[in-house]
Chains A and B, each alone.
Chain A
Amino acid sequence: MYRKSLSEKTFDGSIILLLVLTSLLMLFPFYYMIVISFSSYDDYMRHGVMLWPKQWVLDAYRSIFESRAFVRSIGSTVFVTVAGTLVDLIMTSSMAYALSRDIPGRKFFNMMVVFTFLFGGGMIPTYLIIKSTGLIDTYWALIVPGCISAFNLIIIRQFFRGIPNELNDAALIDGASEVKIFVLIVLPLSKPVLAAFSLFYAVGHWNTFFDAILYLNDSTKWTLQVVLRQLVILGNVSDTLHQSPEARMTQLEHQTPPETIGMAAVLVATIPILLLYPFLQKHFAKGVMLGSIKG
């Protein structure tokens, strides 16, 4: 049996130590948020950094869940995330499949996709399109415009191309249509890549912020991030921009909710999407790798 020498052992040990320290460094902010969110504001003011709450209180959580705007925004975000991810996956995978097949004009459409990769329409033209298609003030404004990401489309297309053609041919001989092949053969074979991209899309929708402000005039429809920002950042002076003294004074006058509430809100807004990662992680690495290597 091979036995490690002393120097190898110390080398391994020091690497483990380094990794543990690094991960602690990354976990600490989270841990700190949890501690502060369960502390009373008085304790926070008096002690600042704490490693353990002096007294466990649920005040912060109670106050955010009593806020109708916050609870309502969770609903909006969940809807946009679930519906949006579904629409995104259907649209992206079906287009990717079409483009992975030998169809006439494939090159042209591929070029069009790459074009949107390089050039965007800009905020105002996009707004005009959304306005004239009647999507203003509907959740579709947050879902439809970004439902096909050029980057994701290309990777999924490459993945589909990697599926052996023989499978297709066999299915064709058995009398399957293209739709049937896509739904019954290609999609089940592509679970890892679909899982990976549903995660990408879901995180994107979960973080919807400026689009909600821009396209939704009705503030009851706003997403979690908009409401969250009001709880955490309102009253923080941005020092990079020039502000008139009047603006600065007005801003300082409006008191931010206590930090304990901010921390609790951040946790509530982060944990659901964080929980997706462990479930999708095993597909995640595989999916991304398969798509890129086999291309």
Chain B
Amino acid sequence: MKKKNASLLLMLSLSLGVTACSANKEETQPTSSSASTGTAPAASSASATASPSADPAAKKLDISLFEGVWSAIPDPNGAGIQAINEKFNVNFKANLVPFDQGGQKMAVLMASGDMPDFVGLGGADPSYLKWAKQGAFLPLNDYIDKYPVLQLIPKTAWDSVTVDGNIYAIPRFFTTKYRNVPIIRKDWLDKLNLQMPTTYEELLNVAKAFTFNDPDGNGKDDTYGFVMANGLDNEMAMGSGFYSDTWSMKNDKGQYLPGIITDASKQRIQFLRDAFKAGVVPKDWPVLTYKDNRTTFYSGKAGIYYDGTPGNKGLFDQLLKADPNAVVETIPPFKAPDGSQALPGLSGWYQMYSLNGKLKNDPDKVDRILSMINYFATFIPPEQQNENNPDFDWKNGGVGKGYTMENGVADYPEASLSLRPKSYLEIAEWAPSDEALQVEKKAINPIQKAYAEKSVKLWSTPGMTYINPVFSIHSDLYDTKFWELNTKLIDEQTKMIVGNTSMDNWDKMVQDFLKNGGQDVIDEVNQKMQEAGAEPVYK
């Protein structure tokens, strides 16, 4: 009896598995072949026939989204999503999961043919390129002209998501400036009569003074010069030339090198080694995380940390509580061995949306999705971000409900997450420029406000922002192999900093890196840069 049932069940499950696999194959096959032959004309003709129809918005459409998100997950039936359903006449299903699980679930959904109508992706990574080449996504070349916000997206961003001439994703805005760079307690400098450091030697002296000369004046030996964390993510990189992921120095063959093996990085590691020896950083830094570190800095126990602009209000509130007289400033970049003196810029976009390739015969749905994206990504200037702007008010669920206004600045309580339509389609609005964001105006906390104003001014200096040439290329070796090798380099450098190995090992470390595949990465990256005409740019 039992046996029979068990074998029946087994056969059933096996056969289901087989049918599911074969069904999946049938579904993906035609899509991939049509994508490679001629989807673009087909799609454009389809949209042409659809546009004259009376009112395409009249039909209620089911639209599904899958995305891994950084923020908390809103209630799937919250008031926010109902507002979206009404406004766009859709039945919107947003399947949101925590960001670090998103990639894995996405892979399962894609492999099992279960891709929703559109998906949020982290970037143009190897899996995106693979899926795009297999025809999983809808080419958007013929659609994007119709949506005003998409016109604001710069060509470099479109280039990054283009595969074989087809645009398969809509990049989302991110600043080019305001990356996290070293920041310092200016009030401590003033109190100890020190100048803003301009070289690593001066920086070491400042760090020593911050540690041993009681900068907070409480009579206790309880401060650190600076804080650093495991993984050595660009610790104390005082300018774009010192960063491990920038390409700006050349070798004798004229090839650009990744920062992590250059003399600039060697200088930086030497400094960290000296600093560790001098005892100006927490002894247990190799097991500390960034979260530990920012707690240390923002509770007034460390003099140097690194953060973006305008930073996080909650953290500045902590600092205000710990020391009301604190002054925080960005450290201006040092002159690097390559002659540059700049802050490292960002790529200008982060995360993106891709549409399901099967939608090519459903132009109404494509239009509806893109209209939603267009609406949510439409920039609302900072001075209008209040209850008087109907779009702002709607996106955030209504004043007094989804958000509150305090001294002209909106605050978004965690408790009303599900009331804000924005929580379900969290797109950064495409700003015409970084300055248009006026990040400094949004700060209420006085320490944060002063910091942001100064920092924005520094970033706005012409030529201050270094644009990494690898932003404009796709290199398989760089995307995969380089980061493997990078981990080894970081391990070696960590050993040097804590004094386990001598700095004389530097050359051997670089040689090992080049021998184990590093040179191949450098060759490929340089070749692709040449093809794309990409060079380091200082904006």
Contact = CB atoms under 8 A, between A and B. Distances in A.
B290 A237 contact: yes
B54 interface: no
A254 interface: yes
A51 interface: no
A255 B76 CA distance: 22
A31 B25 CA distance: 55
A120 B308 CA distance: 45
Interface in B325-378: 344, 346-347, 349-350
B229 interface: yes
Contact of A129 (B20, B299, B346, B347): B20
Nearest to B468: A245
Contact of A131 (B114, B179, B231, B294): B114
Interface in A86-112: 94-95, 98, 103, 105, 109, 112
A237 B3 contact: no
Given A213-B101, A245-B346, A129 B16 contact: yes
Nearest to B174: A246
A239 B233 contact: yes
Nearest to B350: A246
Contacts of A46: 299, 322
Interface stretch (B65-73, B200-208, B263-271, B399-407): B65-73
B96 interface: yes
A251 interface: yes
Contacts of A247: 122, 350
Interface in B241-292: 245, 289-291
Interface string A246-261: 1111111111100000
Contact of B19 (A105, A132, A249, A250): A132
Contacts of A252: 180, 290, 294, 307-308, 312
Interface in B59-113: 70-73, 75-77, 93, 95-101, 104-105, 107-108, 111-112
B101 A129 contact: no
B17 interface: yes
B3 A123 contact: no
A274 interface: no
B230 interface: yes
A270 interface: no
B98 A230 contact: yes
A71 interface: no
B234 to A, nearest CB: 8
Nearest to B172: A246
Contact of B291 (A42, A69, A235, A240): A235
A46 B291 CA distance: 16
A109 B6 contact: yes
B2 A131 contact: no
Contact of A246 (B19, B233, B245, B347): B347
A220 B112 contact: no
B108 A214 contact: yes
Given A219-B75, A239-B230, A124 B111 contact: yes
Contact of A128 (B21, B100, B245): B21
B321 interface: yes
Contacts of B122: 244, 247
Interface string B387-403: 00000000000000000
B483 interface: yes
B1 to A, nearest CB: 8
Contacts of A220: 75-77
Interface residues of A, number: 52
Interface in B3-29: 3, 6, 10, 13, 16-17, 19-21, 24
Contacts of A240: 231, 487
A282 to B, nearest CB: 31
A252 B305 CA distance: 13
B76 A109 contact: no
Contact of B289 (A45, A128, A217, A237): A237
A245 B178 CA distance: 11
Given A45-B318, A235-B291, A246-B350, A219 B96 contact: yes
A123 B2 CA distance: 28
In which size bucket is the chain B interface?
Answer: 35 or more
B123 interface: yes
Contacts of B291: 235-237, 256
Given A219-B76, A234-B72, A238-B100, A249 B17 contact: no
Contacts of B290: 237, 239, 252
Contact of B312 (A219, A229, A253): A253
A42 B317 CA distance: 11
A218 interface: yes
A240 B141 CA distance: 37
Contacts of B321: 42, 45
Contact of B17 (A105, A109, A129, A256): A129
A98 B2 contact: yes
Contact of B179 (A109, A239, A245, A256): A245
Interface in A219-234: 219-220, 226, 229-230, 234
Contacts of B347: 244, 246
Nearest to B114: A131
A248 B233 contact: yes
B486 interface: yes
A242 interface: yes
Contacts of A237: 289-291
Contacts of B77: 220
A210 interface: yes
B73 A251 contact: no
Contacts of B105: 213-214
Nearest to B313: A255
Contacts of B123: 244, 246
Contacts of A32: none
Contacts of B24: 128
A127 interface: yes
A124 B486 CA distance: 31
B217 interface: no
Contacts of B98: 213, 226, 229-230, 234
A227 to B, nearest CB: 9
A125 B113 CA distance: 12
B229 to A, nearest CB: 7
A125 to B, nearest CB: 6
A218 to B, nearest CB: 6
A254 B13 contact: no
Contacts of A253: 70, 308, 312
B16 to A, nearest CB: 5
A109 B350 CA distance: 52
A133 interface: yes
B3 A103 contact: yes
B165 interface: no
Contacts of A248: 180, 233
Contact of B308 (A69, A124, A242, A249): A249
6 contacts: A98-B3, A129-B17, A132-B17, A242-B483, A246-B347, A248-B180
Q: Which 5 A-B pairs have the closest CB atoms?
A: A239-B231, A246-B350, A242-B483, A128-B20, A98-B2
